[in-house]
């Protein structure tokens, strides 16, 4: 177990903490929840940087890191949907996209004993989704139309990331077939 993996585990622990804080009966609950979410986001950046900079990338980390990210983001989007900030269809789209990503990663892991590393579009998608969701957590009174536009833009970016991962997966499969 190395520091990047410990940071990913910390993010996993923060998932239920975010939900509990978000729904607290406290006038500052959304600020505290945004703080938990921001801490999770910064630990994500830190674990990736540490893993790459100090050559501590592990197979476990390549599974734990995206799992922690996806569970945190799913929890945040579920909470802001339950609170009536964004429409239910946004959660459905996000969940289906993540389900496809998870199935793809599982198939790749079973077939090739590895998974694709995150790419720049995936990282941009994660960052964009964080900014949008953090804004919606901090400003729950935002007009519904604006909230829908913001989450739609974030979802479009995540779908673009999904497409880029599918292309990358197909390229890896083609390369494996070319090998003797």
Q: Are 132 and 153 in contact (CB under 8 A)?
A: yes
Residues of the chain with pLDDT under 50: none
Helices (H), 26-143: 29-53, 59-82, 88-112, 120-138
pLDDT value at position 119? 81
Q: Are 14 and 36 in contact (CB under 8 A)?
A: yes
* pTM (predicted TM-score): 0.85
Q: What CA–CA distance (Å, rounded) separates 136 from 92?
A: 18
Chain segment 69-86, per-residue pLDDT in tens:
889 999 999 999 999 999
pLDDT value at position 114? 66
pLDDT value at position 67? 87
């Amino acid at each position: 177990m190395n520091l990047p993996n410990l940071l990913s585990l910390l993010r996993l622990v923060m998932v239920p903490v975010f939900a509990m804080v978000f729904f607290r009966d406290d006038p500052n609950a959304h600020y505290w929840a945004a703080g938990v979410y921001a801490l999770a986001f910064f630990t994500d950046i830190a674990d990736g940087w540490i893993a790459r900079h100090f050559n501590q990338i592990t197979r476990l980390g390549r599974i734990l890191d995206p799992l922690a990210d996806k569970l945190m983001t799913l929890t945040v989007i579920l909470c802001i949907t339950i609170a009536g900030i964004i429409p239910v269809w946004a959660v459905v789209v996000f969940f289906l996209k993540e389900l496809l990503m998870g199935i793809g990663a599982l198939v790749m892991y079973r077939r090739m004993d590895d998974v694709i590393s995150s790419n720049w579009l995936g990282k941009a998608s994660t960052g964009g989704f964080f900014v949008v969701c953090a804004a919606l957590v901090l400003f729950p009174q935002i007009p519904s139309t604006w909230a829908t536009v913001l989450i739609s833009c974030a979802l479009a970016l995540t779908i673009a990331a999904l497409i880029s991962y599918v292309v990358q997966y197909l390229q890896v499969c083609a390369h494996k077939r070319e090998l003797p």
